[in-house]
């Protein structure tokens, strides 16, 4: 398959959209919500886990670090698995593995084993994202992905809200062990149900459809050239844009409470209210932005992303300049809308930059890159605040992320690969001829 002349499937190439596509979207959203709950259960349970396993408070971070190491690795490698074995299989394996790990963690009596199990949960849970993207993009055309992916990405916010509401109640009535057992068993049961409920859709590249006919569209079975992904300039720039956006988003989530309390003397209750208002807006904003860009911008992602990231950075600067608690509360909804509004746009942009046969790989690698922003920023912001003692300086450091992402996005070419002018904008895959030109990156290999 010559990807320098890759032609995405046109609407006329596929049957009319089926109502079943919404069933697939809901199934992927439920699965993503549950893995988000599995991840977020640690927050309200961590203190009780530490007391039970005799782990000092300062050392509890090792559990979360282990999870995120597994999660980032899984995002990258899970995407390759999704393109190799199909979204349905990886969705099932991801949720099933996370459920087994959650259940086992709820029964552990060793801190060492517990840390290893957290890494295992993250390793399985991370593949859920790529599997969901692969399945959703196989049912919805590229120009209409804003709304479904906006709905899909609300799972992370909703999962955090559910975990912080339900887990404390379970712990108060039973124990932290029970909270992990409950969500672990639910994950296992749901994984089995989804395997029989979900199937891949018809929105595949025209050339891919013929190649995957014998496998029912589930397993492309093609060998991926990672070098080709790296040479996809617009994909790399989109990854860097997301890194900058998540720098500001997760930096705020991580540091906002402490910065408001230590930097401005805001009460913990008020600081918690500000962050809650900030987070709740995501549930409404993500699908709303997706719908508006689909309906009124013809599915454009680049320009709205640039505008929202610019507002996000500016709002962070304004937030850092405020000192009145009431003003912080009033600004929180706008800050939350800008902080989350760009996310469904870049998520929907990635599949547009590559053919459907490598959607999982590209989405997984992109998300892994974005998550690195959330890993690095807490350390940097902490250093800035420690060195300056300034609330405003810390928020300037946060704002640097979305502002940088905004500038990077200017260089992205969001046109489909069939209209790319350069080989670097053609979607990647492995070459079957060593001597082919740089822009000719065919994919080969028999169906698995």
For range 99-128, the mean pLDDT: 91
With 50 as the cut, is the pLDDT of residue 79 above it? yes
Task: Find out whether 90 and 81 touch, Cβ atoms under 8 Å.
Answer: yes
Cα–Cα distance measured from residue 257 to residue 270, given in angstroms and rounded to the nearest whole number:
9
pLDDT computed for residue 224 by the predictor: 57
Here the contacts of 419-424 (C-beta below 8 Å, separation 24 or greater) are: 422/233, 423/4, 423/231, 424/231, 424/232, 424/233, 424/234
Q: Spell out a b/e string for 21-46, using b for 16 or more CB atoms within 10 Å of the CB, else e.
A: beebbebbbebbbbbbbbbbbbebbb
**Residue 223: which pLDDT band, with cuts at 50, 70 and 90?**
low
pLDDT computed for residue 401 by the predictor: 93
> Residues 336-345: pLDDT tens digits?
899 989 988 9
pLDDT computed for residue 104 by the predictor: 94
With 60 as the cut, is the pLDDT of residue 443 above it? no
> Residues 405-420: pLDDT tens digits?
999 999 998 775 553 4
Q: Where are the domains of the chain?
A: 3-425
The pair of structure tokens assigned to 266 is 């805001």
For range 315-339, the mean pLDDT: 88
> Residues 236-263: pLDDT tens digits?
999 999 999 989 987 887 677 777 877 7
The dihedral through the CA atoms of 71, 94, 194, 19 has a sign that is positive
Compute the C-alpha angle 205/198/14, nearest 5°. Answer: 30
For range 63-84, the mean pLDDT: 80
pLDDT computed for residue 216 by the predictor: 41
With 70 as the cut, is the pLDDT of residue 73 above it? yes
Task: Find out whether 329 and 273 touch, Cβ atoms under 8 Å.
Answer: yes
pLDDT computed for residue 426 by the predictor: 43
- Nearest CA to 175 out of 45, 31, 61 is that of 45
- Nearest CA to 122 out of 29, 241, 41, 197 is that of 41
**Residue 11: which pLDDT band, with cuts at 50, 70 and 90?**
very low
> CATH 3.20.20.70: does it fit domain 3-425?
no
pLDDT computed for residue 373 by the predictor: 77
**Pseudo-torsion of CA 18, 19, 22, 28, nearest 10°?**
-60
For range 117-127, the mean pLDDT: 90
Cα–Cα distance measured from residue 259 to residue 172, given in angstroms and rounded to the nearest whole number:
30
User: What angle do helix axes 87-105 and 61-85 make, rounded to 10 degrees?
Assistant: 160
pLDDT computed for residue 15 by the predictor: 56
Q: Residue 403 CB: number of other CB atoms within 10 A? A: 21
- How many residues in total does the chain contain? 448
**Residue 288: which pLDDT band, with cuts at 50, 70 and 90?**
confident
**Residue 95: which pLDDT band, with cuts at 50, 70 and 90?**
very high
pLDDT computed for residue 57 by the predictor: 65
> Residues 365-404: pLDDT tens digits?
888 888 887 777 777 887 888 788 888 888 899 999 999 9
For range 337-366, the mean pLDDT: 84
Classified as helix, coil or strand, 226 is helix
Q: What percent of the chain has pLDDT over 90?
A: 23
Cα–Cα distance measured from residue 100 to residue 185, given in angstroms and rounded to the nearest whole number:
8
pLDDT computed for residue 433 by the predictor: 37
With 60 as the cut, is the pLDDT of residue 126 above it? yes
For range 192-204, the mean pLDDT: 84
Cα–Cα distance measured from residue 443 to residue 140, given in angstroms and rounded to the nearest whole number:
24
Cα–Cα distance measured from residue 235 to residue 162, given in angstroms and rounded to the nearest whole number:
33
Please give the mean pLDDT across all residues of the chain: 78
Whether the model clears a pTM of 0.85, i.e. scores above it, the answer is no
For range 214-230, the mean pLDDT: 54
Q: Which residue has the higher pLDDT, 176 or 5?
A: 176
With 60 as the cut, is the pLDDT of residue 148 above it? yes
Q: What percent of the chain has pLDDT over 70?
A: 82
For range 47-76, the mean pLDDT: 80
**What contacts 157, CB < 8 A, 6 or more positions away?**
279, 280, 282, 283, 286, 340
Q: Residue 416 CB: number of other CB atoms within 10 A? A: 17
């Amino acid at each position: 398959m010559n990807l320098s002349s890759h032609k995405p499937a046109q609407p006329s190439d596929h049957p009319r959209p089926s109502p079943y596509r919404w069933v697939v979207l809901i199934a992927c959203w439920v699965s993503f919500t549950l893995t988000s709950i599995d991840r977020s259960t640690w927050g309200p349970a961590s203190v009780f886990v530490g007391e039970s396993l005799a782990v000092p408070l300062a050392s509890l971070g090792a559990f979360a670090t282990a999870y995120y190491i597994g999660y980032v690795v899984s995002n990258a490698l899970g995407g390759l698995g999704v393109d190799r074995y199909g979204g349905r299989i990886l969705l099932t394996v991801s949720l099933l593995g996370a459920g087994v790990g959650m259940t086992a963690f709820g029964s552990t009596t060793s801190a060492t084993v517990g840390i290893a199990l957290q890494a295992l949960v993250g390793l399985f849970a991370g593949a859920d994202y790529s599997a969901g993207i692969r399945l959703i993009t196989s049912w919805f055309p590229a120009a209409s992905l804003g709304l479904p992916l906006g709905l899909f990405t609300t799972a992370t916010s909703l999962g955090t809200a559910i975990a912080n509401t339900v887990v404390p109640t379970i712990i108060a009535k039973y124990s932290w062990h029970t909270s992990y057992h409950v969500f672990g068993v639910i994950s296992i049961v749901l994984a089995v149900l989804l395997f029989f409920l979900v199937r891949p859709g018809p929105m595949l590249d025209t050339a891919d459809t013929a190649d995957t006919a014998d496998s029912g569209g589930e397993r492309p079975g093609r060998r991926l050239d990672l070098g080709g992904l790296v040479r996809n300039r617009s994909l790399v720039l989109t990854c860097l844009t997301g890194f900058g956006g998540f720098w500001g988003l997760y930096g705020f989530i991580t540091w906002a409470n402490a910065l408001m309390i230590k930097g401005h003397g805001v009460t913990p209750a008020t600081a918690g209210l500000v962050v809650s208002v900030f987070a709740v807006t995501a549930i409404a904003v993500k699908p709303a932005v997706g719908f508006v860009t689909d309906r009124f911008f013809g599915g454009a992602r680049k320009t709205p992303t640039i505008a929202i990231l610019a507002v996000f950075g500016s709002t962070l600067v304004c937030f850092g300049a405020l000192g009145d608690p009431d003003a912080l509360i009033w600004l929180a909804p706008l800050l939350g809308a800008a902080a989350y509004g760009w996310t469904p746009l870049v998520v929907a942009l990635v599949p547009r930059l590559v053919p459907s046969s490598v959607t999982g790989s590209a989405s997984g690698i992109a998300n892994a890159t974005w998550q690195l922003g959330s890993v690095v920023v807490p350390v940097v912001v902490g250093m800035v605040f420690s060195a300056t003692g300034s609330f405003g300086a810390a928020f300037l450091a946060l704002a640097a992320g979305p502002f940088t992402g905004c500038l990077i996005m200017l260089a992205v070419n969001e046109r489909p690969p069939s209209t790319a002018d350069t080989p670097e904008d053609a979607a990647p895959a492995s070459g079957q001829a060593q001597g082919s030109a740089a822009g000719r990156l065919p994919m080969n290999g028999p169906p698995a």
